[in-house]
Amino acid sequence: MIELAPRHKIGLPVESPILLAGGSAGYGEAIHPGIDTARLGGIVVGPITRRSIRGSDAPRMAETSGGFVLQTGLQNRGVSAVIKNFARLWPRLGSPVIAQIADNSPEEAASTARRLAQVDGLLGLELRISPQTPAGEMRSLLRAVRRAAELPLWVKLPLTAVEESAQTAAGAGADGLVIASPPAGAGFNRQGELIRGDLHGPGNFAPMLAGLSAVAGLGLGIPLIACGGIHTPQRLRQALAAGASAVQLDSLLWVEPDLLQKLLEMGD
In DSSP terms, 19 is beta-bridged to: 42, 248
Q: What percent of the chain has pLDDT over 90?
A: 87
Strand pairing report for 67-70 and 97-101: unpaired
CA-based max dimension of the chain:
53
Model pLDDT, residue 71: 92
Give me the long-range contacts of 56-61 (CB less than 8 A, separation at least 24).
56/197, 59/189, 59/191, 59/193, 59/195, 60/195, 60/197, 61/189, 61/195, 61/197
CA distance 3 to 56: 37
**What confidence tens digit (pLDDT) does each residue in 60-70 have?**
999 998 799 99
Enter the pTM of the model.
0.95
The average pLDDT across 111-120 equals 97
Model pLDDT, residue 65: 83
The average pLDDT across 84-108 equals 97
CA distance 149 to 112: 9
Burial 219-232 (b: 16+ CB within 10 A, else e): ebebbbbbbbbbbb
Residue 257 has pLDDT above 90, yes or no: no
Strand-by-strand arrangement of the 184-188 sheet: 61-64, 67-70, 194-200, 184-188
Residue 249 has pLDDT above 90, yes or no: yes
Q: How confident is the model at residue 264 (pLDDT cuts 50, 70, 90)?
A: confident
**What confidence tens digit (pLDDT) does each residue in 41-93 have?**
999 999 999 999 998 988 999 999 879 999 998 999 999 999 999 999 999 99
CATH code, residues 2-53+71-187+198-267: 3.20.20.70
Residue 35 or residue 46, greater confidence: 46
Mapped onto helix, strand or coil, the DSSP state of residue 149 is: coil
Model pLDDT, residue 265: 78
Q: Which strand (E) or helix (H) includes residue 99?
A: strand 97-101
